[in-house]
Structure 1
Amino acid sequence: MRLNELLGRRVVDAGGDDIGWVADVRLVQDGPVLPSMQAAFRVTGLIVVEHHATRLLGYERHVGPALLRWLVHRRLGEVWYLPWEDVRLADPRIEVARGRSDLQHLEETPRI
């Protein structure tokens, strides 16, 4: 599967309720060494926004000027981080093993 196949997909919780849309994918470069002499990337989680968005500009993490943060959060709604082990791919949507109330907000996750 290619990363662009994940972006923009609808996400539902364990009860089938809509959560939002995949806005970004979090990766770690700790896989096997490739012929290019760099380690392969591995997906560690998804960043999901309540309202459909085309681009995250970095302001979803509560950084930058207050007015700009407010505008971005107004557009995105809630922003969650879903660990990859909680995600199940079910074409055409993505299902998460937890309920919406149990999801972790992105600003609460440590930055790697």
Structure 2
Amino acid sequence: VRSNRWVTVRPRTISESEKDCALMTLNERAGEQCAFRVLPRYRFNHEGDPVGRHDQLLLQSPALRMYVHVSLARRGQLARREVNLSHDASRWQFRVFSDASFGDDVFKGGDNIRLFH
């Protein structure tokens, strides 16, 4: 499903599945709440290191210092999950769907990104 919207944090709205998390929604306009910082999951990787295809990452909201988190399905719910913002980090792994040549531009830990859905 392609929505043509930006993944956005709503810091003053509580998540539906976990009451200690902030809600994330899709928004037509990209703003300050759409930025996420890519951090290495493991301590042997550092900010500024190139991100490899199989590296595990954390996504942090620079404004709130909270992490993009996936809630677990509760009993009685059919594999329903919610992506929200939490103090607990979930690990992420980006997948390459097509090869591209960007010259010397490399995706690095510590870079800020925006996610388009």
Question: Shared fold by TM > 0.5?
Answer: no
Higher relative contact order (CA 8 A, sep 6+): 2
TM-score, structure 1 normalization: 0.31
